Amino acid sequence: MNQQPPMQGKLASTIKSYYPSLTKSEQKVASTVLENIEAVLYGSVTDLADRADVGETTALRFCRKIGFRGYQEFKLAIAKDLSNPTNEEHDAEKPVTLSQSLAKHAKHTIDETLQMVDDQTVEECIDALDAAPTIYFFGVGTSGVTALDAKMRFLRIGLRTDAIIDPHVQSMTAATLGEGDVVVGISVSGSTKDTIDSLTIAKENGATVMVITHYVRSPITKIADYVLLSGGRQSPLEGGSIGAKMSQLYLIDIVSTGLAIRRKEQSIGMKQKTADSVVDKSY
């Protein structure tokens, strides 16, 4: 396996300067960061802890010790450090237009997501959603936009659903859920604290928890009953990237289409009713 070159730059110097003052466990985290920078940049805090063979608490303590509030702020600093425009890696590649480059990336993202889809898990998700009295989508930031889109898809086929993108309202809503209710948490990083906290409350009250995330080993997957993995990884500087958004929407499309097929007659009727309800809204 090819190993990334040792980390260089201002952040690397900072880590090395703190190294002697770190505990042995924290030094393991520091060495892992310096030797496997890309894995850290595109990984979760759980991935980092596993690579360093320490607990997540130690990984987070390391981040705070070298001056960051948490893992995401640390990753943002790494991304900034690596964004030096002197990298000439692509100079030898055949030039392509911007539109071609973006189209290629979009196709790759969908292909990557397709490879990560587990058909058995999809069927189990559809079973749970089909039987649920209420369905909620939780997401914040750009994942909240995906949650709103999911709500529209599910409403059109007649399901009782809502999308909650305010963290406080998420928590209150989660506290009202019970056995059989389903809440779908959306987070590319799998480390969005507000979403994880709300999902935890929902699970404690008996709700079924599904998550859409890029990282199979991340804090959000630890509380999930079902995990749908999305493609389109992104660095902290690429928050809200179109690739990550497309992969989330692709998974929503798979599940909602599966539900529509299962509820064919009801879905057709509801699509007609919802379309009729807004027909006067257009000229």
76 and 180 part of one domain:
no
In a domain, 90, yes or no: no
115 and 226 part of one domain:
yes
In a domain, 69, yes or no: yes
- pLDDT per residue as tens digits for the range 161-189: 999 999 999 999 999 999 999 999 999 88
**What pLDDT, on the 0 to 100 scale, is given for residue 217?**
77
Structure tokens at 114: 């397709």
**What pLDDT, on the 0 to 100 scale, is given for residue 89?**
43
In a domain, 5, yes or no: no
70 and 120 part of one domain:
no
Q: Could you tell me the residue range of the domain that residue 264 belongs to?
A: 98-278
**What pLDDT, on the 0 to 100 scale, is given for residue 162?**
97
In a domain, 242, yes or no: yes
109 and 248 part of one domain:
yes
130 and 68 part of one domain:
no
In a domain, 222, yes or no: yes
**What pLDDT, on the 0 to 100 scale, is given for residue 94?**
59
Sequence-distant (6+) residues with CB within 8 A of 262 are 126, 130
Overall number of domains in the chain: 2
161 and 238 part of one domain:
yes
Q: Which CATH number goes with the domain that contains 37?
A: 1.10.10.10
In a domain, 3, yes or no: no
CA angle 101–230–267, rounded 5-degree value:
105
Instruction: Give, for 118, the enclosing helix (H) or strand (E).
Output: none
Instruction: Name residue 163's beta-bridge partners.
Output: 137
Ranges of residues in the chain with a pLDDT under 70 are 1-9, 17, 83-95, 233-240
Q: Which CATH number goes with the domain that contains 180?
A: 3.40.50.10490
Instruction: Point out the domain boundary residue: 58, 82, 106.
Output: 82
139 and 55 part of one domain:
no
- pLDDT per residue as tens digits for the range 6-22: 445 678 877 886 888 89
In a domain, 93, yes or no: no
Instruction: Give, for 229, the enclosing helix (H) or strand (E).
Output: strand 226-229
**What pLDDT, on the 0 to 100 scale, is given for residue 90?**
45
Sequence-distant (6+) residues with CB within 8 A of 202 are 136, 174, 177, 181, 183, 209
Alpha helices in the chain (DSSP H): 10-18, 24-35, 37-41, 45-52, 56-65, 71-82, 98-116, 119-131, 142-156, 167-176, 193-204, 242-262, 264-277
26 and 149 part of one domain:
no
In a domain, 2, yes or no: no
